[in-house]
Structure 1
Amino acid sequence: MKKTISIIGGGTSSFLLAAFLNTEKYEVTIYEKNKTSGRKFLVAGKGGFNLTHSEAVLELIERYTPNDFLKEALLHFTNDAFINWLHARNIPTYIGTSKRVYPKEGIKPITVLKTILDHLKEKGILFKYEHTFSGWDAENNLLINDKSTPSDYTVFSLGGGSWKITGSDGLWLDKFEQKGVKTLPFDASNCTFKISWNGDFLSKHEGKPLKNIAVSCLGKRQKGEAVITKMGLEGNAIYSLSPQIRAQLKSQKKAVIYIDFKPTLSLEALTSKIVNSNFKNTTQILKKELKLTPPQIDLLKIKLPKEHYLNAILLSESIKKFPLEVYELGLLDEAISTAGGISLTAVDSNFQLHTIPNQFCIGEMLNWDAPTGGYLIQACASTGVYLSNYLNKID
């Protein structure tokens, strides 16, 4: 007789787990509290559907915080392996200029989702919708819709604490804490980072990008761009600094980031360009010689004293290391992803809970962090496939 595996939650990590499980050995059921699966998967696709990132896997691993926890899973099911798996499911991809991997043009997120779900159904995976995890009974059996649901193995793939509209509300956290599983409160990641802008500056530049910059915080540096919003800054240049900014906010109640407006130039080269420019007006030098944008120039004008702005050395230093204070994270529910959830010390190397044998946690519900750009989906997929390999080897 086949043993049973119950997967709680219908998202990327559960889909890839189910796709690689041996269905000759296991009867697999995915329980989803919504009427359909993959709602967060679809919402993620609205802003540019990054399925993974194409950089070398060892470089990719370094993008995660902490990077050692996911290493074995990412090496077991790499970004190349994920791309090949998608291609085998008739989901061709292409690499964009940012090295992010997308479905080929014309293939919508709903098509990708339907293709994956059809593949799972062909494998014999059973889906039960409007079935909500509500805890455990006295024998550690699942409670689904408050009804005891015994299973040989249980895998939780419940997501993080953002985008409640998709069902990823994090309300499961209290149930695990009450069960004695070590948990951490959810924190926003890849979110708006709140900055108190000058009112005139905001009225002129809200919605405009700061392009070709590098942002630094606590020794970590990221090139890219950020968008000026009413609340602060968003964008790939700052998203990857989420762990560092959160750490400063928790320890000091504020965080300082530094923007390099000309990351392609050294301080010495930048100073030389200013000193030797044919333009005599400082603003013209910034605009014509250095090609700084109006938002960048206005930030320098607002922040710097006049004598500082007119001094080539001091101005150069500010262009290379312009400070901005972040006073708060954006709303948790509006964050692209979250940190927190199940503590990494609560699971073993195969994601099995120490306190409840034969029950596992995978995907974003675990306390790891990643920037945008395909890293989130990749790690969720890798944790699912890695666990399938462990379960398939059990006698």
Structure 2
Amino acid sequence: MVPQAAEQEGRQGPTGAVIGQCPTVAIIGAGPAGLMAAEALAARGIAVTVYDAMPSPARKFLMAGRGGLNITHSEPLDRFITRYGGAAPVVKPWLDRFTPADLRAWVHGLGIETFVGSSGRVFPVGLKASPLLRAWLRRLDGLGVTLKARHRWTGWDANGALTFETPAFGRSGVPLAVAADATLLALGGASWPRLGSDGGWAPLLAAKGVDLAPFRAANAGFDVAWSPTFVERAEGQPLKRIALSFAGQTSRGEAVVTRTGLEGGALYALGAAVREAIARDGQAVLHIDLKPDLDLGALMARLAKAPPSESLKNRLRKALGLEGVIPALLREGATPADLATPAALAARLKALPITLSAIRPLDRAISTAGGITLTELDEHLMLRRLPGVFAVGEMLDWEAPTGGYLLQACFSGALAAAEGVATFLG
């Protein structure tokens, strides 16, 4: 068992805790970032207790694994770092310290092999999060890490100790007080509240003067004013091997037509720019290239060979192999002139305009932007206003598209924060 700070004997620590033979660290949040930091600190001989409000750890991590756990990406690191936008200068040292190759090696060390998919994304063999998490928890247990479930962090008491609501709180009305030599916050953003990532920590830090950026949905779908006829025909239909363009950026991949609009990885890669444009202008128009491997001239030539008497559906299928929802999508909002000639139809295929009016709500987002502004942290990820308190993961105001970039930064940032904690503890 890991000794609790209040049970040890010795001198007073920098945050009021009592230090015995080894310092103690409280990690709040049992997601990937919190668990990775716990492993790194425990391996240094530091007594670590991880607190989480949920009944079991890493619930969002397990949910992410249901569709195939994408842990990182195989693209070159110089390209990889650009995925973090304006936060790239802050994130880059984390990735230099723990690269995508290092993450794969770490997974292999848990006895789980990985592979690179056709898109360059990296997955564990079996595509599941649960075997990885089970092996990881066994390792943490072997290192002496204590996990305490159903402990909801409520701030600090008058003596500076951490306070938690626990199952016993409902009976006594008295929160649990925990003293530690350092605290690492890894509470996640504000998406998926039913899995524990609800942003409820924000008022606690705001009360301490910590600067917070408002939470904003990231990696979420966008609303489109589809016609009822189109929704009835197209809802749930995929758009495969497409390219989306907005504000000088292009993203290739897939998207899905939803009842309210569009979602999918190709759109998420442009999501931050689209979201900010909607906030500024009330809407954003992106363009879909439905046949990105053929240029405009080649499209025109193929379409010109199709008999004009044939239906649009048959012309697209025979000339270009385009089926499914594509004919209906091309007709949505089109004028007769837009589809009248091979030239007009080719132009629409290469740059189909779609007007996006809003991003989906936070509780429908995969991740969030916003949280603790990066200027609130020193180079060790310690809060400047709260010495001995560190923060990591989606609590911080950075964002990245899906594709392994989110998890990689959480893992890499956790190791950077763990090193910061160790430096602080001396």
**TM-score exceeds 0.5:** yes
Q: Please give the per-residue CA displacement for 1:1-37, whole angstroms capped at 9, x wherever unaligned.
A: 2111111100100111112225454211111112211
Deviations 1:165-215 (A, max 9, x none): 211111111111121111122111112211111111111111111111111
Q: Rg larger in 1 or in 2? A: 2
List per-residue Cα deviations over 1:125-171 (Å, max 9, x = no partner): 11122222101234543223334322221110001111112111111
In structure 1, distance between residues paired with 2:205 and 2:270: 29
- In structure 1, the residue matched to 2:67 is 47
Matched, 1:384 2:414: yes
CA RMSD of aligned residues (A): 1.8
Report the 3-state secondary structure (helix = DSSP H, G, I; strand = E; otherwise coil) of the residue aligned with 1:159. Answer: coil
C-alpha distance in structure 2 between counterparts of 1:103 and 1:300, whole Å: 38
Give the aligned residue type for 2:177: S
- Structure 1 pair 86/337, CA: closer, same or farther in 2 (3 Å)? same
Identify the residue that residue 400 of structure 2 maps to in structure 1: 370
Unaligned runs of 5+ in 2: 1-20, 166-174
Residues 1:65 and 2:85 aligned together: yes
Could you say which structure has the greater relative contact order, defined with CA pairs below 8 angstroms and 6 or more residues apart?
1
Query: Is the counterpart of residue 205 in structure 1 residue 225 in structure 2?
Result: no
Tell me what 1:250 maps to: 279
- Tell me the TM-score normalised to structure 1 length: 0.94
SS, match of residue 70 in structure 1: helix
Identical pairs, percent? 37
Q: Which amino acid aligns with 1:39?
A: R
How many residue pairs get matched? Answer: 393
Cα distance in 1 between the residues matched to 2:29 and 2:395: 11
Deviations 1:96-122 (A, max 9, x none): 2222222212x7422211111110111
- Contact residue 157 and residue 361 of structure 1 kept, 8 A: yes
Superposition pairs of residues 1-395 of structure 1, within 5 angstroms: 1-66=21-86, 67-105=88-126, 108-138=128-158, 140-145=160-165, 146-275=175-304, 277-280=305-308, 281=310, 283=312, 284-394=314-424, 395=426
> 2:51 touches 2:148 (CA, 8 Å); kept in 1?
yes
Q: Is the 8 A contact 1:23 1:124 kept in 2?
A: no
**Counterparts in 2 of 1:108 and 1:312: CA distance versus 1, 3 Å:** closer
Label 1:267 to 1:117 Cα distance change in 2 as closer, same or farther (>3 A).
same
Shift of 1:228: 0.8
Q: What CA distance in whole angstroms lies between the structure 2 residues aligned with 1:285 and 1:385?
A: 55
| Unpaired segments ≥5 residues, structure 1 | none
Whichever residue aligns with residue 385 of structure 1, its letter is: L
SS at match of 2:213: strand
Deviation at 1:241, TM superposition (A): 1.4
Kindly indicate whether the alpha-carbon contact (under 8 Å) linking 1:10 and 1:37 is maintained by their aligned counterparts in 2.
Answer: yes
SS in 1 for 2:381: coil
Aligned partner letter, 2:22: K
SS at match of 1:214: strand
Paired residues of 2:42 and 2:145 also in contact (CA < 8 A) = no
